[in-house]
Amino acid sequence: MAAPLAPFVDPLPFPLRLIAGERDGRLTVRIRAGVHKFHRDLPASSIWGFEGLIPGPTIEAERAHAVTVEWCNQLEGPFPVCSTVAPEATDADGVPVQCLPGLSGGEPDRHASRLIGHTVVHLHGALTPASYDGWAENIFAPGQTAVFHYPMEQRAALLWFHDHVMGITKLDVYAGLAGLWIVRDERERELSLPEGPPFEVPLLIQDRNFDTDERGRLTGRLVHKTDPEVMEAFPPFTVVNGKVWPVLDVQPATYRFRVLNGSNARTYRLVLIHDGGPALERIVQIGTDHGLLRGPVSAPADGLVLASAERADLLVDFSDLAPGSELTVLNTAAAPFDGSAFPAADAPKAADLAGLLPYPEVLRFRVAGEAASPISIPRELATDFDSPPAEALSAAPHRMIALVEMELEDAPNMLTMRELEHVADDREGPLVTVRDGEQTTRYRSVAAHFEDTTTFFPMLGRYEVWQLVNLTGDTHPIHLHLDPFQILSRRAIRYEIPEGGIADRNLTAVITLERDRHDELDHTIDDNERGLKDTIRVNPNEIVEIAVRFTTYSGRYMYHCHILEHEDRDMMRPFVTMPPELMPFMA
Ligand SMILES: [Cu+2]
């Protein structure tokens, strides 16, 4: 399908830098309406942004140097995004409407058009006291200010801050309320990694759609469009640092890319193409969500997968390339993503309307200018973490969470996370039965919706094992607030859910820990997932086990799917971290 915008004509913008150390750790960030040009040939778009910018400014902080941010809500309506549900999933030519600009016959959602700018800011990946974590219901109105204190007692990593308002995160983030936050530390400096421009380049990848006028021309007005069959928005235009399909001139040198998938729902599988074929060997990944891996790893053979909110710290070597060389980053992940493979060699043919991927283009690099010496990559990177000790895990409480999708008539499907409680063998009623070899364990569902009773009270300092079992057809990136975690296992399951087994709160299912014969996924853990993560992909027909140890701060936090349309409806739950001394007093 011919693109209505020319790719690779806008230079990649670098977000404005706000270096906390130059301002005594005290920052003021105004949250306000603005205008932004997403592409040379698009009219300016109305947006909401931190400092009125897309992306918001990148805040750079030092480990153990606290940062206080005064978040000043100066938003004002009208809400800049037209939100709509198209009446049909495809147009008269059979093209999925989500691949097309415009409203596709949908009515603008009148509730969305009346939003006036309530917000709350969450710093994703930060070890933050609960009162500054951006609880989804602690909303501040236009004219109100929140002063949040971030201790920054954490290792170097790429974090990001974004709106987190109950029920409308998908709209507020889509309107532009997102920015990057980099924590730096001495370990990274010992490794002589590039810091700042030109060789350290943040890449915030998102997808956006725009309205059209009566003649079919793009107007620049942001459109969040879903359809009766797909409740997530998968817009056709990939936007990097605020530009559709930009181009970056690079010197023949090694670059450090700090990559974040900040899309509402889309998962990317990024493949670097040079001379018509994959050039993944040029990429070395050194860090993940919470910073450095123990050692550098190669890109996965199919390409680098990043679901919403996942990050990658990459070194890419252009040092041997002649001026004029061009390399292109393509996305091969169909949407909604279900973990299916796609060979990197086929990336130039990845366009797939049925997979809501009309344009695989992401970004182009054009080699120009002076050669600089390549970086030698140390074999040992992080030295400050190990796998969770076996004795800690054997004593760890286990928590089982089932991800389920309930189909509804005349309303978008509802996704929930069912917290499951172990019950005795003679228990009757709607139960989840898990068969693992000879062992059978039964559970009942004790919570499903955000407002249901809190059932998770992790004790500070103690390891816990969380088991996330996916009973839906799509991959869900599950994010825990507060501390990072490590993945322990990813295993195939098969399951049966009887007719009516997914009720509003109850759940009936039989889960067997063995591969379904129709299941083609390999359920492996990628090398780049063996670091400190805060968001983990849980693929269909899969159970993922993670080990988490909450530290430092007691209070009420959230965990949720980071597909924003899922988080808003209703894949989010609270947990309360508790100091050990107070546990005996819990009823
Ligand atoms: Cu989800």
- For residue 396, pLDDT beyond 90: yes
Q: What's the rounded Cα separation, in Å, for the pair 234 and 245?
A: 16
Q: What's the rounded Cα separation, in Å, for the pair 47 and 77?
A: 10
0.75 cut: is pTM over it?
yes
Distance 262 CA to ligand 1 centre (A): 15
- For residue 244, pLDDT beyond 90: yes
Q: If you average pLDDT over residues 176-186, what whole number do you get?
A: 98
Q: If you average pLDDT over residues 355-362, what whole number do you get?
A: 98
pLDDT of residue 587: 66
Distance 181 CA to ligand 1 centre (A): 24
- For residue 85, pLDDT beyond 90: yes
Distance 310 CA to ligand 1 centre (A): 14
Q: If you average pLDDT over residues 34-38, what whole number do you get?
A: 98
CB 345 within 8 A of CB 387: no
Distance 472 CA to ligand 1 centre (A): 9
Distance 415 CA to ligand 1 centre (A): 7
Distance 308 CA to ligand 1 centre (A): 10
Distance 231 CA to ligand 1 centre (A): 11
User: How far lies 522's CA from each of 210, 490, 516, 519, in Å?
Assistant: 37, 10, 11, 8
pLDDT of residue 122: 98
Of the pLDDT bands very low, low, confident and very high (cuts 50, 70, 90), residue 376 is confident
- For residue 370, pLDDT beyond 90: no
Distance 474 CA to ligand 1 centre (A): 8
Expressed in percent and rounded to 5, the helix, strand and coil fractions of the chain are 10, 40, 50
Q: What's the rounded Cα separation, in Å, for the pair 343 and 303?
A: 8
Residues 6+ apart with CB under 8 A from 370: 251, 252
CB 563 within 8 A of CB 476: yes
Count of residues in the chain = 587
Distance 477 CA to ligand 1 centre (A): 6
pLDDT of residue 371: 87
- For residue 341, pLDDT beyond 70: yes
Distance 63 CA to ligand 1 centre (A): 32
Distance 156 CA to ligand 1 centre (A): 28
Average pLDDT, the chain: 97
Distance 568 CA to ligand 1 centre (A): 10
Distance 256 CA to ligand 1 centre (A): 30
Q: If you average pLDDT over residues 235-256, what whole number do you get?
A: 98
